[in-house]
Amino acid sequence: MNTLRTAMLLAAMTALFMGVGFLIGGSGGMIIALLFAAGMNLFSYWNADKMVLSMNRAVEVDERNAPEYYAIVQALAKQAGLPMPKTYLIDSPQPNAFATGRNPQNAAVAASTGLLERLSREEVAAVMAHELAHVQHRDTLTMTIVATLAGAISMLGNFAFFFGGSRDNNNPFGFVGVLVAMLVAPFAAMIVQMAVSRTREYEADRRGAEICGQPLWLASALDKIARGAERIPNPDAERNPAMAHLFIINPLSGERMDNLFSTHPSTENRIAALQQMAGAIGGAAPAAPREAPAPSRPDEAQAGPWGKPPESAPPAGPERAKPNPWGRNPTGPRGAGPKGPWS
């Protein structure tokens, strides 16, 4: 069913692309648009991960320079039955994460430094489980190609503005067709792109909660990320808004309503679904991913997201500050329940 849905969505985007080409240039424009769409699909298939990671200036890490972050992804990938994806860090204070890649064998997951610094270990695990769910469902390829075609349709609309009405191009609809290409087609492409993202986020939430073993970890993480994204801008995402739907929470300002005009479902609805899922399983104790790293003793210095210890250990006593990103605090403000195997 997922493969059929993907094929139908890509066919719809390609048909929309061809329709814009027809409105601008008639039958010749439609053929050119078809060839261009096919070329873009092939290019996106092989280069989607590189494009997205480059636009976000992500840096690949491993067990040497980000040991705890890498170990969490490794344990969760094994729990999900997936190959170990390439693991990246984004130097951004906004807490967020995304996954990309054309298939599970060529996947990559990326988390921001803000995510590692602001979330507990359990919440980081839940977020990365959500991203691995996207990989397992093969969402990353579809969402990237749809975003690429949506951007290309918008580009055609701009082309129509500058060139469509200035010459006789065998356009049967004349200037009306150019106006439709300029206004309606990019808007329709945006709706399709956003609808794709919203549908798949709910499924990734559900599967991610199954992978990490505790839905309330992800509910707490979503609450923290949403509040952080509202306050902290993401300049790279603002410059490339077509990739906003790849993130676990919309990195752009605004667009919080749960409708076809938002890139993500509302955070409140997602949290409610996860809380309902937790209630359905009766609050059973979560199962830890195999080979999850054991937590260090409270008096030991904690390694940061780049694998470097802090300059000095936190002061002793009950009032000492909690180290980031692997704080000892329980999960977030929404009553996430008992602490799990990483607490």
Q: Which residues are annotated as a binding site for Zn(2+)?
A: 130, 134, 201
Nearest to 249 by CA among 264, 269, 230, 270: 264
User: How many whole angstroms separate alpha carbon 194 and alpha carbon 255?
Assistant: 11
Residues 28, 31, 35, 37: is their CA dihedral positive or negative?
A: positive
φ and ψ at 112, to 5 degrees?
-85, 155
DSSP string covering 56-107: TT-EEE-TTTSHHHHHHHHHHHHHHT-PPPEEEEE--SS--EEEEESSGGGE
Does the bond joining 315 to the residue before it have cis omega, within 30 degrees of 0?
Answer: no
> Which amino acid is it at 16?
L
Q: List 100's β-bridge partners, or say none.
A: 108
φ and ψ at 249, to 5 degrees?
-130, 140
> Which amino acid is it at 195?
A
Residues 6+ apart with CB under 8 A from 141: 44, 45, 48, 101, 102, 103
Collapse the DSSP code of 243 into the 3-class scheme (helix H, G, I; strand E, B; otherwise coil) and give the result. helix
Residues flagged as binding site? 130, 134, 201
Active site annotation includes 131: yes
User: How many whole angstroms separate alpha carbon 301 and alpha carbon 312?
Assistant: 8
Q: Contacts for 275-281 with beta carbons within 8 Å, 24 or more apart?
A: 275/215, 275/216, 275/219, 275/334, 277/206, 277/209, 277/215, 278/209, 278/214, 278/215, 278/216, 278/219, 278/337, 281/215
DSSP string covering 170-209: --TTHHHHHHHHHHHHHHHHHHHHHHHHHHHHHHHHHHHH
* Catalytic choice (68, 131, 255, 291): 131
Catalytically annotated residues? 131
